[in-house]
Amino acid sequence: MGVSQVLVAIGWAAGFILVAKVIHRHASVLRRLFVPSSVVAGLLALLLGPQVLGTLAEARGWDVPWLAGGLLPEAVLEAWSALPGLLINVVFAALFLGKTIPPLKDIVKVAGPQVALGQSLAWGQYVVGILLAIAVLQPVFGMDPVAGALIEIGLEGGHGTAAALESTFEEFDFAEGTDLALGLATIGLVAGVLAGLAIINWAVATGRISREDLEPGSRPEGEEAEALGEFDEREPVDDGREDIAIDQLSVHIGLVALAIGLGWLLQRALVGLESLTWARDGGFEVFRHIPLFPLAMIGGLALQVALGRLGDSGPHVDRGLINRLSGVSLDLVIVTALGTISLAVLGANIWPLALLAVAGLAWSIRAFLLLAPRIVPDHPYQRGLADFGQSTGMTVTGLLLVRMVDPDNRTRAMEGFGYKQLLFEPFVGGGVFTAISVPLIAQLGPWAVLGITGTFLAVSLSVGLLVFGPKES
């Protein structure tokens, strides 16, 4: 694949994003459902590609040569199929760059209950998914047991994680897993918003959320409104140390590349350690199947800790600029992944997809309603809605729901959720366990992984209920 082919493919994706932005501005229903423009662009590309427009033109006998395969050239689709697995590394490497890494005790103090709630929702998705695979998907539909990981990958992980694991699914002869996970992520995006709005209205009607909390007030003087998706918003600071001969965008691209490089070195070290120890004689392998993106996230976290210790002697990291790099990459991941999703695979697995979606969403909704008031000691619904939104596929969905019920951040839900990510994302929702869940089920079997995830669920619930839950006076 040539460089020109990749650049043309990115240009096509950017064009669809521009068109989607116009559609988004004039379609109020999309704004009310908080559907991102990148998702609209991906679905638009799918409709105008060979699977919909091309098939329709062939079926109707339209004598228009350039519509035979849809509007998208084959070379563009070829490049799009490879881009998600590459660009997702940028997204995960940038997660912690430019963020203040507080001491562990501060994280636990502020965000401990939300860590316990978020972990419970995530591990429960594995338990529900694996049980569904054992009881229904494998015996009834003949699906591979690794389908038990799809709920957590698609709902908790979202579009980016689903696209990033394409090579892992193919390695274990479950290529349809990528399309099913992307389908789950899309369903979860819309269903999560609708369910969240229903929960908010129910909580207000029953007095669980005060109507006064819904009214935005005035922020303290000098406090800037927090941007959605940002938990540690920092404006660019001119501290006089920047080298005017080097564009700051180049410096930040270098930092992201360094984080990915650290993740790659960690990956090589883990694979080498495994080959010299328990996998030496053909034993069980885990690290060889871990994709790069969760380790790039750990590389970014390690780099940020190192930069924090350097203080003023290190390069200034502008979190806003890091967000722009990450945002562009994630938009391209979503557009290219949705634009190449296989409708034939979804159609052939429509009932398993429906069962996975219903089971995953039912768990997230029911578990949130039961656990939030028993784990989060104060303002459980306001603080827990961010975790619920994340468990249905999009972090920004949860943040938008929180902004509805707590527009002035009186409950510190935004701060708690931001701290919670430091103890959440390295493991699930696109973390290391998410990355190895498919290899674990394939090599250890679903019952063994059910035991592992069930144990983690029990620990998360015990910590949440016994340590952080509301105490009787």
Return the half-sphere exposure (C-beta side, CA atoms, 13 A cut-off) of residue 431: 15
pLDDT digits (tens, 9 = 90+) for 168-182: 899 889 999 999 999
pLDDT of residue 382: 84
- Calculate the alpha carbon distances from 36 to 20, 409, 430 in Å: 9, 23, 20
Confidence bin at 312 (pLDDT 50/70/90):
low
pLDDT of residue 233: 35
Confidence bin at 239 (pLDDT 50/70/90):
very low
pLDDT of residue 217: 55
pLDDT of residue 24: 84
pLDDT of residue 216: 56
DSSP 67-126: GTT-SS-HHHHHHHHHHHHHHHHHHHHTSSTTS----HHHHHHHHHHHHHHHHHHHHHHH
The percent of residues in the chain predicted with pLDDT above 70, rounded, is 87
Q: Flag whether pLDDT at 47 surpasses 50.
A: yes
Q: Flag whether pLDDT at 183 surpasses 70.
A: yes
Q: Flag whether pLDDT at 232 surpasses 50.
A: no
Q: How many Å apart are CA 3 and CA 402, to the nearest integer?
A: 43
Q: Flag whether pLDDT at 213 surpasses 80.
A: no
Both structure tokens of 296: 């790039």
Residues in CB range of 338: below 8 A, 6 or more apart: 39, 42, 43, 45, 46, 159, 182, 186
* Distinct helix (H) and strand (E) counts, the chain: 21, 0
CB-CB contact of 334 with 159 (8 Å): yes
Q: Flag whether pLDDT at 246 surpasses 60.
A: no
Q: Flag whether pLDDT at 283 surpasses 80.
A: no
pLDDT digits (tens, 9 = 90+) for 89-129: 898 888 888 888 778 887 788 788 989 999 999 999 999 99
pLDDT of residue 229: 36
Residues in CB range of 136: below 8 A, 6 or more apart: 355
Q: Flag whether pLDDT at 294 surpasses 50.
A: yes
pLDDT digits (tens, 9 = 90+) for 360-414: 999 999 999 999 999 988 888 888 888 898 888 667 677 777 777 777 767 777 7
Confidence bin at 11 (pLDDT 50/70/90):
very high
Q: Flag whether pLDDT at 40 surpasses 80.
A: yes
Q: How many Å apart are CA 141 and CA 155, to the nearest integer?
A: 21
- Mean pLDDT over 242-270 rounds to 84
Q: Flag whether pLDDT at 228 surpasses 50.
A: no
Q: Which residue has the higher pLDDT, 464 or 283?
A: 464
Nearest-CA neighbor of 337 among 189, 180, 179? 179
CA dihedral 151, 157, 159, 161 (to 10 degrees): -110
- Mean pLDDT over 436-450 rounds to 93
pLDDT of residue 234: 35
pLDDT digits (tens, 9 = 90+) for 141-161: 999 999 999 999 999 888 888
- Mean pLDDT over 327-332 rounds to 86
Return the half-sphere exposure (C-beta side, CA atoms, 13 A cut-off) of residue 311: 1
Q: Largest alpha-carbon pair distance within the chain?
A: 78
pLDDT digits (tens, 9 = 90+) for 51-84: 888 888 777 777 666 666 778 888 888 898 888 8
